[in-house]
């Protein structure tokens, strides 16, 4: 399949089914709010490094979590019972995205979370589409994740942890809120072993796109997640 060249100021995408075998679909365009929302609702996300043009992907298969299928290991259950972390939502979005980028750089993996990406997702956050789920300990942010919420789907972007189990506890908090908010699908993009152990599973792109059509309405409402700590659900 060819890689499509996107036209600036025209926030439209080719059908995700045209993606190459490695998942690459298109190149170019911008990171405007309209284009990002259009991308996610069509099963596409940006992923590129500093110095590269914007690359748009739709991998097949896709790793997802259904909230009711979350698995919590015995060791993680012990961590939750000890109450080592306090979960919060949307109290430190910029800190979370910075920490996700810094963690990958310190691990020597490089990062796709460029300065332009940070600005774009911070804008989505201000508009009510992007959110962070955080783990705090004694006033310090020690783990968390961020992503985009559209309709009944949460699209996870990245997570970090500087304390054992801190990011896993943030995922548990996300799933807890997903159940109360009616979120049906958590997109994890690509396979990782630790997410598989927590109940994630792979589905075909065709099935994934079908679920997006089912769970994302034509008229999108912004997230109802509120900026708050969750002492009643303290880890």
What 219-223 contacts at long range (C-beta under 8 Å, 24+ apart), as own/partner pairs, is: 220/37, 220/41, 220/150, 220/151, 221/151, 222/127, 222/128, 222/129, 223/128, 223/129, 223/131, 223/149
Across the beta sheet with 153-161, what order do the strands follow? 201-203, 62-65, 185-189, 153-161, 140-150, 130-137, 86-89, 228-229
Is 103 found in the same domain as 77? yes
Q: What is the mean pLDDT of the chain?
A: 92
pLDDT band at 9 (very low <50, low <70, confident <90, very high): confident
Is 124 found in the same domain as 160? yes
- pLDDT > 70? residue 226: no
pLDDT band at 111 (very low <50, low <70, confident <90, very high): confident
Is 68 found in the same domain as 55? no
Interval 20-34: pLDDT, tens: 999 999 999 999 999
Is 125 found in the same domain as 54? no
Please check whether residue 187 is in contact with residue 64, taking contact to mean a CB–CB distance below 8 angstroms: yes
Interval 33-74: pLDDT, tens: 999 999 999 999 999 998 999 999 999 999 999 999 999 999
**Residue 184, domain CATH:** 3.40.630.70
- The number of distinct structural domains making up the chain is 2
With 0.95 as the threshold, say if the pTM is over it. no
Is 149 found in the same domain as 107? yes
Q: Residue 11: which domain range?
A: 4-59
Is 68 found in the same domain as 53? no
Is 54 found in the same domain as 67? no
- pLDDT > 90? residue 169: yes
Is 206 found in the same domain as 167? yes
Residue of 160, 163, 158 whose CA lies nearest to 82: 163
Is 89 found in the same domain as 32? no
């Amino acid at each position: 399949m060819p890689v499509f060249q996107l036209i600036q100021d025209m926030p439209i995408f080719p059908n995700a089914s045209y993606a190459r075998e490695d998942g690459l679909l298109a190149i170019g365009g911008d990171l405007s709010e309209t284009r990002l929302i259009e991308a996610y609702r069509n099963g596409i996300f940006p992923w590129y490094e500093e110095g590269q043009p914007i690359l748009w992907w739709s991998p097949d298969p896709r790793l997802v979590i259904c909230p009711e299928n979350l698995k919590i290991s015995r060791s993680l259950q012990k961590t939750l019972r000890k109450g080592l972390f306090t979960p919060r939502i949307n109290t430190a979005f910029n800190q979370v995205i910075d920490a996700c980028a810094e963690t990958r750089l310190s691990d020597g993996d490089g990062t796709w979370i460029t300065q332009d990406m940070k600005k774009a997702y911070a804008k989505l956050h201000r508009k009510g589409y992007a959110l962070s789920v955080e783990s705090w300990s004694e006033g310090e942010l020690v783990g968390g994740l961020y992503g985009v919420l559209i309709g009944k789907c949460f699209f996870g972007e990245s997570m970090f942890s500087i304390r054992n189990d801190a990011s896993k506890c943030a995922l548990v908090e996300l799933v807890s809120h997903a159940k109360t908010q009616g979120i049906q699908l958590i997109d994890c993009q690509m396979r990782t072993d630790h997410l598989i152990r927590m109940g994630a599973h792979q589905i075909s792109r065709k099935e994934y796109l079908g679920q997006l059509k089912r769970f994302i309405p034509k008229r999108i409402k912004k997230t109802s997640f509120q900026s708050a700590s969750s002492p009643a659900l303290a880890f």
